[in-house]
Structure 1
Amino acid sequence: MARLTGKTALVTGSATGIGLAVATRFAAEGARVVIADRDGDAAHRAAAGIGEAARAVAVDISQEDQVSAAFASLAEGGWAPDVVVANAGVQLFGQDAPAADLDLDVWRKMIDINLTGTFLTVKHAVRTMRERGGGSIILTGSPTGVNGEGKDFTAYSASKAGIHGLARTVAAAYAGDGIRVNTVVPGYTETSLVTTISDDPEARAAIVGRIPMGRAGTPADVEGIMLFLASDDSAFATGALFAVDGGMTTL
């Protein structure tokens, strides 16, 4: 039997990259999947590519009215999620910077999308799951929130560290409701989010050279741990960080 048969999963930021890979894998494992993305057209294309087991929702996770409306609409249509992957986020290359050089507007934009957007996704996921007797929430973190990997990305690193703390707090608060909350920490993973690095041979070599396994990550590398955390195989796992970074955070 497929590991997610009978479950419905919502994945934010899933029109492309890690989110799309995870949503596609979830569908292959028997789940119905909701492709939630700010780019509604891209979300519909992604859902069409997956097939009848998928539907698309256009939502800006930094706007609570949109997040709340999305969850309400899904519940009304019989698609209330048992699994929510809070994956959407941005990395503002060319704008993020060391703290003394960081513009306040850039800081606010990053926090609004990455941290507040994740909080709002989690908030409404919890409300939905309490009514359903539990569920699994998975957050996408980053090594920049664990060590000094993001020294030139103050806002991004702070937003991801905040996500890590949010996961632990929510996990503790709602364990009694059968809601599990865990964070997956992908290392350097080549998607459209990091073309500034992947298109620069010198910058790419510098970061790949710090990965003990000697290569960049791919979205496919993240699917398995997300599947485990979405499935009942991880029934006793909550409040934890799961690194998928080729050993980067062991250094």
Structure 2
Amino acid sequence: MTDRLTGKTALVTGAATGIGLSVASRFAAEGARVVFADRDGDGAGAAAAAAPEGRGRAVTMDISDEPAVEGAFAELAAAGWSPDVVVANAGVQLFGKDARIADLDLEHWRQTIDVNLTGTFLTVKHAVRGMLLNGGGSIILTGSPTGLNGEGADFTAYSASKAGIHGLARTVAAAYAKENIRVNTVVPGYTETTLVTAITSDPESRAAIIGRIPLGRAGSPADVEGIMVFLASDDAAFATGALFAVDGGMTTL
């Protein structure tokens, strides 16, 4: 660890498991105070408790519920934990329910969009409000190759939500650059977490996906930590509105 984030306060959504947990834990190890935010309050609490002393704080937050998001940011500001780094990472992928558009139920479309896109919008909205009061900051969104190409043809809602996230990041980056708020998107490829258990438990599906990755292996949450640390740090002071792929080369094909 390099202490690249000493002096910063970060909030990471979806921090109880997977990429969010890995990134939040790495931020704490790099010297930041970190808010582990998740709708699973117990999971967020356990993750925060494992951080170095004084660097972890948990908050229960359903990102699709604006009063919950607004209340969490207000609570943090009152406690002196207003974040200058926010990672909007939480999301869902409804395996067995998301489908090609002719077969997709409106309920499952709305469920996905409400969490992935609207939840990201609400997280970014209230992050920006706080950063405007505090002189700026860094916002990092979690995208997907399915929002860039036809990789997720059987996941209409998920792919559309991630494409929306990519567009949202660019728009907010342009709108708030003069206020010293940077907004970037990290695009992990196939990363083995509990979110994709339906794939990891099916050897044929897993092999088919890995066969399309030039580096020849699945990603892990740890593969995403480094680029997140960079974007959160002052080393990335001139980076905004960009997409950073961490996908083993998948989107080069």
TM range (shorter): over 0.9
TM-score w.r.t. structure 1 length? 0.99
Q: 2:235 aligns with which of 230, 233, 236?
A: 233
Q: Which residue does 1:35 correspond to in 2? A: 36
Q: Please, what TM-score do these two structures have when normalized by structure 2?
A: 0.99
- SS of the residue aligned with 1:43? helix
Whether the aligned pair in 1 keeps the contact of 2:12 and 2:24 (CA below 8 Å) is yes
Query: How far does the alpha carbon of each residue in 1:108-150 deviate from its partner, in whole angstroms, 9 at most, with x for none?
Result: 0000000000000000000000100000000000000000000
State the shift of 1:2 in Å: 1.3
Q: Which amino acid aligns with 2:21?
A: L
Tell me, yes or no, if structure 1 residue 91 matches structure 2 residue 93.
Answer: yes
Q: Shift in Å at residue 51 of structure 1?
A: 3.6
1:157 to 152, 156, 159: 159
CA offsets 1:68-117 (integer angstroms, 9 cap, x no match)? 00000000000000100000000000000000000000000000000000
Secondary structure, in 3 states, of the residue corresponding to 1:243? strand
Q: Hey, which bits of structure 1, 4+ residues long, moved more than 3 A?
A: none
Structure 2: distance between partners of 1:222 and 1:43:
19
Q: Percent identity?
A: 79
**1:8 correspondence with 2:9:** yes
Instruction: Answer with 50-59 or 35-44: which moved more.
Output: 50-59
Structure 1 letter corresponding to 2:165:
I
Alignment partner of 2:147 out of 142, 145, 148: 145
CA–CA distance in structure 1, aligned partners of residues 67 and 17 of structure 2: 24
1:18-167 matches, within 5 Å, as 18-52=19-53, 53-167=55-169
Q: CA deviation at 1:178?
A: 0.2
Gaps of 5+ in 1: none
Aligned pairs, number: 251
Q: Measure the CA separation in 2 of the matches of 1:216 and 1:200.
A: 14
Aligned to 1:198: 200
Provide the C-alpha distance between the structure 1 equivalents of 2:240 and 2:117, rounded to a whole number of angstroms. 20
For residues 91 and 51 of structure 2, the distance between their equivalents in structure 1, rounded to whole angstroms, comes to 22
CA distance in 2, matches of 1:223, 1:119: 22
* SS in structure 1 of the partner of residue 213 of structure 2: coil
Distance 1:186 1:229 in 2: 14
Structure 2: tracts of 5 or more residues without a match: none
Match of 1:50, SS state, is coil
Paired amino acid for 1:142: S
